[in-house]
Structure 1
Amino acid sequence: MRPLTEEETTILFEKLSKYIGENIQLLIDRPDGKYCFRLHQDRIYYASEEIMKLAGTMPQKGLVSFGTCFGKITKTKKFRLHITCLEFLAPYAKFKVWVKPGSEQSFLYGNHVLKSGLARITENTAKYQGVVIHSMSDVPLGFGVAAKTTQECRHTDPLQIVVFHQADIGEYLRHEDSL
């Protein structure tokens, strides 16, 4: 477990800014204490300073994880968000997409969001912008990347992809099934 380097911090913050913009500061300085990001075995964890100090007392080989895993840094120095960070991204997301009840299941099986399953989309969503996908009852289901702008979504064919799938809460079940 170690603090992030300057390069790793830049990679993490660039990825997070696609989804939550300038709200990254709200993740670090929270009302319930100060939080930080740490790297452990190519994974970036988000934890309070108290938990981080307690984890620091453990031997490195005995420490499996601590805090919440936000994602993994790949060998090619790219950052991939894990679904475990959804509860932290959803409240601060700048751009959101709501899917119809019939399309929720399709999205939770790992499929992209089609225009026919789109219920609402945040105004002024740019192409390739990170979005958080919600059900119509405002339950966060996952996150993805907008394939079309808000204006293009209004005039596109119902079978066109409007959001590329990145991660969803159904991954827990699919991953457990493969073990």
Structure 2
Amino acid sequence: MKRLNEERTKVLFEKLAKYIGPNIKLLIQRPDGLYCFREKKNRVYYVSETILKLASTIPDDNLICMGTCFGKFTKSGKFRLDITALNYLAPYAQCKIWLKPSAEQQFLYGNHVTKAGLGRISENVEKYNGVLVYSMSDLPLGFGVAARSTAECKLADPLASICFHQADIGEYIRSEQDLFTNLA
């Protein structure tokens, strides 16, 4: 596991700031200790510094991963958040969208959110902000990008896209299903 270079750290923090704003500091300096980001094979892991010290005794070739995978860098150098980061980002999210129960399944199948499926939206959402998508019972469902601001949502027609789908908790099940389908 290696440290992220300056360029990759900047790209990572810009992506995180899109979803949690200035709360990145709270993600690193937590009450249970300091946390950091490490990279292995273009994947970024979020790990406690105490675990990092313990893992330093394991040879790098024998270490597959450590901590929680937050996402990966694409070949073009962009960072793509993974759904495993959802539970860590949810408490610090600034822009949120809540879905009606009838729209939850559609979002979990990878579809965008329409106004007809919108239950609530945070007041401060601007167009193209990163948003966390929740069920009406405050269960985090995934990530998205706001297609319209809060003010535009009030005037939009029911079939207009409100949030573009980025990642959801149903991805793991879909990817596992694809894996088993290809093996059969």
TM-score (norm 2): 0.96
- What are the Cα deviations for residues 2-23 of structure 1, in whole angstroms up to 9, with x where unaligned? 1111101100000000000000
CA distance in 2 between counterparts of 1:83 and 1:12 reads 15
Q: Which residue of 1 aligns with 2:66?
A: 66
Residue 32 in 1 paired to residue 32 in 2? yes
> 1:64: how far off?
1.2
Aligned residues: 179
> 1:63: how far off?
1.2
Q: Which residue of 1 aligns with 2:182?
A: none
Specify every segment of 5 or more residues in structure 2 that has no aligned partner in the other structure, as ranges: 180-184
CA distance in 1 between counterparts of 2:75 and 2:98 reads 34
Specify every segment of 5 or more residues in structure 1 that has no aligned partner in the other structure, as ranges: none
Matched AA of 1:164: F
Q: Which residue of 2 aligns with 1:141?
A: 141
CA distance in 2 between counterparts of 1:58 and 1:81 reads 27
> 1:54: how far off?
2.1
What percent of counterpart residues are identical? 63
> 1:61: how far off?
2.0
- Deviation beyond 3 Å, 4+ runs, structure 1: none
CA distance in 2 between counterparts of 1:65 and 1:136 reads 34
Q: Which residue of 1 aligns with 2:132?
A: 132
CA distance in 2 between counterparts of 1:65 and 1:99 reads 34
Q: Which residue of 1 aligns with 2:13?
A: 13
CA distance in 2 between counterparts of 1:120 and 1:29 reads 31
Look up the SS of the partner of 1:76 in the other structure: coil
> 1:55: how far off?
2.1
RMSD value, Cα: 0.7
- What are the Cα deviations for residues 104-157 of structure 1, in whole angstroms up to 9, with x where unaligned? 000001110010000000002100000000000000000100000001111111
Matched AA of 1:38: R
Q: Which residue of 2 aligns with 1:81?
A: 81
TM-score (norm 1): 0.98
Q: Which residue of 2 aligns with 1:173?
A: 173
CA distance in 2 between counterparts of 1:73 and 1:56 reads 23
Residue 122 in 1 paired to residue 105 in 2? no
Look up the SS of the partner of 1:98 in the other structure: strand
> 1:56: how far off?
2.1
CA distance in 1 between counterparts of 2:59 and 2:75 reads 25
Q: Which residue of 2 aligns with 1:52?
A: 52
The farther-off stretch of 126-135 and 55-64 is 55-64
